[in-house]
Amino acid sequence: MRHNKKFNHLSRTASHRSAMLSNMAVSLIMHKRITTTLAKAKALKKYVEPLITKSKEDTTNSRRVVFSYLQDKHAITELFSVISEKVADRPGGYTRIIKTGFRASDNAQMCFIELVDFDENMAKTAKKAKRTRRSSKKATTAAETPAEAPVEAPVAEAPAEEAAETAAPEEAQAE
């Protein structure tokens, strides 16, 4: 009977599935973003998020537990040094899945899965998307202030240019 066995088997044996998820997790840790099918990305998310949580506590035991899943010492070093520092204050949700369409050959739904804190483009757009009435008023006054500054700058430079022009004829007259 299949009671309480509801995870996606991905049409693979248990050993093949665990090896595939391990390899995908190593690729995600090393490259910060990978492209795969939606089903594999969802399975990978369940696989890698507990490992990232475990990496927040840098102990010998947590390194051994994560190594038993990943089997790649370079990925372990990257996970415990770089990634754990970036996600130290995040309580969970370390990965993001973004759908990209369908694969041409077999029409499988494709996506990319990435580590949240490592995508600078998404972080910049998230800050811009957050707008309120108060911030829009501040933005208009802030937009007017820089426009005034360049107007003042050429005025300040103009006397210096005139002084240079007046100095040049005096030098010519001295000769």
pTM across the whole model: 0.68
**Is residue 117 one of the residues assigned to a domain?**
yes
Decide: residue 43, CB within 10 A, 0-12 exposed, 13-18 middle, 19+ buried. buried
Per-residue pLDDT tens for 7-46?
A: 899 999 999 999 999 999 999 999 999 999 999 999 999 9
**Is residue 9 one of the residues assigned to a domain?**
no
Among residues 3, 11, 93, 105, the alpha carbon closest in space to that of 52 is found at 93
Per-residue pLDDT tens for 69-94?
A: 999 999 999 999 999 999 999 999 99
Q: Are residues 112 and 171 in the same domain?
A: no
Q: Please name the amino acid found at residue 43.
A: A
Query: Where in the sequence is the domain holding 169, given as residue range(s)?
Result: 131-175
**Dihedral sign (CA 30, 36, 41, 47):** negative
Q: Are residues 79 and 164 in the same domain?
A: no
